């Protein structure tokens, strides 16, 4: 029996840290996620126990994939992750407060080089390397999850800003004195409307402020989430459709402002809310166009990421690691 010669092709590890859960995987050069897993972020009050659990899980995958010697490095996407310093700073959606030297901690634990950026920047790199933004030099990635993240690519490069924190479109103020964001204490930011959390809050407000019949009224307020709103909307529920209409209006205004800032070829949307399809895309597109001055109108594509959601976050984070020397 012939033994197959072990491949020496290098691999990278991608780790995507979200407010709720963390996904990780081992990825090859062309974007195959060879092994993957996930753990809870939320349950770890201490970052140390989080890294221990992450290492325990990844160790098994690394061994399956040929051992640590085959790994080129680790790319990490995390909210408020700083590319220059490798730290996560004051992330409103993470359980760990203050400034966390996450890249250093992971490097010490795994004995591999680590590069870190914010999760949406990582997602943008993933789209540029493997997804809808292949070949583009100017685009904006918007992730619509628990929060709203963004990564801005101009002239082929991510904009990191002077301190590594550029690309926080989710926190730009769209409605002055608008809805309070519990995490940041700021009012009227994009994230307070166009996230899963925001859709839930819009639903609760609409139930309170209108008398219109809706299937959503059959749930307890604490049980209403963006998924239930989505299901009601595709079943034709008028209030649920109105919720997406309103969410798209706010998102469209924010996208118009982003377009007038960096004039991208396309905006790539990713995340749970995009599952609502035209229910959210139509008002988003309409309100974006309505707020653009003439030179920007009818030029900018709004695209939905076609990367598999379970892989996309890992691919984005892994894309960072290929840049390691």
Residues binding its own copies (CB under 8 A): 80, 89-90, 92, 136-138, 152, 154-155, 157, 159-169, 171-176, 184, 186, 253, 256-258, 260-265, 291, 293-296, 299
Choose between 54 and 152: whose C-beta lies nearer to its own copies. 152
Minimum separation from the CB atom of position 88 to its own copies (A)? 10
Distance CA 295, CA 2 (A): 64
- DSSP letter (8 states) at residue 80: T
* DSSP notation for 185-214: --BSBGGGTSSHHHHHHHHHHHHHH-----
Choose between 173 and 234: whose C-beta lies nearer to its own copies. 173
Choose between 43 and 157: whose C-beta lies nearer to its own copies. 157
Choose between 64 and 299: whose C-beta lies nearer to its own copies. 299
Distance CA 147, CA 144 (A): 6
Choose between 27 and 158: whose C-beta lies nearer to its own copies. 158
Minimum separation from the CB atom of position 135 to its own copies (A)? 12
Distance CA 295, CA 289 (A): 11
Residue count of the chain, please give it.
325
Minimum separation from the CB atom of position 243 to its own copies (A)? 18
Choose between 189 and 305: whose C-beta lies nearer to its own copies. 189
Pairing of strands 148-154, 99-100: unpaired
In the sheet where 21-27 sits, what is the strand order? 33-40, 21-27, 11-17, 71-77, 114-117
Choose between 34 and 260: whose C-beta lies nearer to its own copies. 260
Q: From residue 54, how far is each of 27, 40, 41, 50, 97 by CA, in Å?
A: 17, 9, 10, 6, 19
Q: How far is CA 154 from the centre of its chain?
A: 19
Strand partners, 13: 26, 74
Would you say the C-alpha torsion 153, 158, 161, 167 has a positive or negative sign?
A: positive
* Contact of 22 with 16, CB cutoff 8 Å: yes
Minimum separation from the CB atom of position 262 to its own copies (A)? 5
Distance CA 280, CA 296 (A): 21
Spatial neighbors of 172 by CB under 8 A, at least 6 apart, are: 189, 190, 254, 257
Minimum separation from the CB atom of position 127 to its own copies (A)? 15
Choose between 23 and 285: whose C-beta lies nearer to its own copies. 285
Minimum separation from the CB atom of position 317 to its own copies (A)? 20
Minimum separation from the CB atom of position 254 to its own copies (A)? 9
Minimum separation from the CB atom of position 216 to its own copies (A)? 26
Choose between 73 and 170: whose C-beta lies nearer to its own copies. 170
Minimum separation from the CB atom of position 189 to its own copies (A)? 8
Taking the alpha carbons at both ends of the chain, their separation in whole angstroms is: 39
């Amino acid at each position: 029996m012939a033994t197959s010669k072990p491949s020496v092709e290098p691999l990278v590890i991608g780790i995507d840290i979200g407010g709720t859960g963390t996904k990780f995987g081992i990825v090859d050069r062309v974007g195959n996620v060879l092994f993957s897993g996930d753990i809870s972020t939320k349950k770890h009050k201490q970052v140390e126990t989080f890294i221990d659990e992450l290492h325990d899980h990844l160790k098994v995958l690394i061994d399956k994939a040929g051992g640590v010697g085959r790994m080129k490095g680790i790319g990490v996407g995390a909210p408020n992750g700083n590319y220059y310093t490798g730290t996560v700073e004051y992330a409103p959606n993470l359980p760990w407060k203050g400034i966390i030297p996450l890249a250093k901690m992971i490097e010490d634990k795994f004995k591999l080089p680590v590069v870190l950026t914010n999760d949406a920047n990582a997602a943008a790199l993933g789209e540029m390397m493997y997804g809808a933004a292949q070949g583009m030099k100017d685009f904006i990635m918007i992730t619509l999850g628990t929060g709203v993240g963004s990564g801005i690519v101009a002239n082929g490069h991510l904009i990191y800003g002077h301190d590594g924190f550029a690309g926080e479109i989710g926190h730009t103020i769209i409605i002055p004195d608008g809805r309070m964001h519990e995490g940041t204490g700021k009012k009227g930011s994009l994230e307070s409307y166009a996230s899963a959390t925001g859709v839930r809050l819009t639903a609760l407000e609409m139930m309170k402020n209108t008398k219109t019949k809706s299937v959503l009224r059959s749930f307890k307020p604490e049980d209403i989430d963006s998924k239930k709103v989505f299901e009601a909307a595709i079943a034709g529920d008028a209030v649920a459709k109105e919720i997406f209409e309103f969410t798209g209006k706010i998102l469209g205004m924010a996208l118009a402002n982003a377009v007038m800032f960096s004039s991208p070829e396309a905006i790539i949307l990713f995340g749970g809310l995009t599952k609502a399809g035209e229910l959210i895309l139509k008002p988003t597109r309409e309100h974006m166009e309505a707020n653009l001055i003439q030179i920007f109108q009818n030029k900018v594509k709004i695209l939905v990421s076609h990367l598999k959601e379970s892989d996309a976050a890992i691919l984005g984070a892994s894309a960072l690691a290929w840049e390691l020397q």
